[in-house]
């Protein structure tokens, strides 16, 4: 799946659920992380056997969620409770530790959604297996860069815009 498609699907899901701009921006940044980190670690030409392995392993991100919860439960509580969310107007008054865990929470959710989105265009490692090098989880509903992906991109872009419109109208 292309980055722009990851961004609009994740943006739509997180904004519609959270109704919060900061959470959505963080999740959109996270929505390209599993691929971006591969470029950083392995270089521009990623060997095929390394693509979609460790950094596309859901278990790793679930572990990060548990760790930030154990470290800053209140930050995760604010990220998940609708009436505690951090708005652009209140961001300056939030302690940095709480804000950090809030932003990381949504970033990690974005990365997890990326993996689920990849799992419908091919294979990723099984979340419940420690063998993250074996990519055999997922079904290819459509190909990356295909007409179907383009249609999905357009549909989710429209949904995303409508969702933002309904929130702020
Ligand atoms: Zn990917």
pLDDT tens per residue, range 134-144: 999 999 999 99
Distance CA 19, CA 86 (A): 11
SS3 22: helix
Average pLDDT, the chain: 95
Model pLDDT, residue 45? 83
For residues 55-59, give the mean pLDDT: 97
Give the distance (Å) from ligand 1 centre to CA of residue 52.
6
- Is residue 48 scored above 90 in pLDDT? no
Q: Read out DSSP for 25-67? A: HHHHHHTTHHHHHHHHHH-SS--TTTTTSGGG-HHHHHHHHHH
Look up the pTM and report it: 0.95
Give the distance (Å) from ligand 1 centre to CA of residue 117.
8
Give the distance (Å) from ligand 1 centre to CA of residue 59.
15
Domain extent at residue 161 = 3-168
User: Contact 32/10 with Cβ under 8 angstroms?
Assistant: no
Distance CA 34, CA 61 (A): 10
Give the distance (Å) from ligand 1 centre to CA of residue 4.
12
Give the distance (Å) from ligand 1 centre to CA of residue 104.
19
Of 114, 102, 100, nearest to 37 (Cα)?
114
Model pLDDT, residue 154? 98
Q: DSSP secondary-structure letter at 144?
A: T
Give the distance (Å) from ligand 1 centre to CA of residue 37.
10
- Dihedral sign for Cα 129, 127, 29, 4, please: positive
Model pLDDT, residue 20? 95
Q: How confident is the model at residue 44 (pLDDT cuts 50, 70, 90)?
A: confident
User: Contact 15/8 with Cβ under 8 angstroms?
Assistant: no
Token digits of residue 148 = 């179907």
Distance CA 63, CA 127 (A): 11
- Is residue 46 scored above 90 in pLDDT? no
Give the distance (Å) from ligand 1 centre to CA of residue 89.
33
For residues 6-27, give the mean pLDDT: 97
Give the distance (Å) from ligand 1 centre to CA of residue 125.
11
Distance CA 28, CA 113 (A): 10
Q: What percent of the chain has pLDDT over 90?
A: 92
Domain count, the chain: 1
Q: How confident is the model at residue 47 (pLDDT cuts 50, 70, 90)?
A: confident
Per residue in 75-132, pLDDT (tens digit) is 999 999 989 999 999 999 999 999 999 999 999 999 999 999 999 999 999 999 999 9
Give the distance (Å) from ligand 1 centre to CA of residue 122.
10
Higher pLDDT, 99 or 51: 99
Give the distance (Å) from ligand 1 centre to CA of residue 150.
17
Half-sphere exposure of 27 (CA within 13 A, CB side): 27
């Amino acid at each position: 799946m292309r980055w722009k498609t990851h961004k609009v699907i994740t943006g739509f899901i997180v904004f519609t659920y959270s109704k919060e701009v900061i959470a959505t921006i963080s999740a959109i940044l996270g929505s390209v992380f599993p691929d971006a980190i591969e470029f950083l670690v392995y270089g521009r030409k990623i060997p095929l056997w390394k693509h979609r392995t460790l950094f596309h392993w859901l278990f790793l991100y679930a572990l990060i969620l548990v760790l930030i919860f154990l470290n800053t439960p209140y930050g995760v509580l604010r990220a998940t409770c609708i009436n505690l969310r951090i708005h652009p107007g209140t961001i300056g008054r939030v302690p940095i530790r709480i804000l950090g865990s809030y932003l990381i929470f949504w970033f990690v959710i974005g990365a997890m959604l990326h993996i689920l989105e990849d799992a419908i265009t091919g294979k990723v490692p099984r979340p419940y297996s420690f063998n993250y090098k074996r990519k055999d989880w997922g079904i290819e509903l459509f190909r990356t860069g295909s007409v179907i992906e383009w249609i999905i991109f357009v549909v989710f872009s429209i949904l995303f815009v409508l969702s933002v419109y309904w929130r702020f109208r």
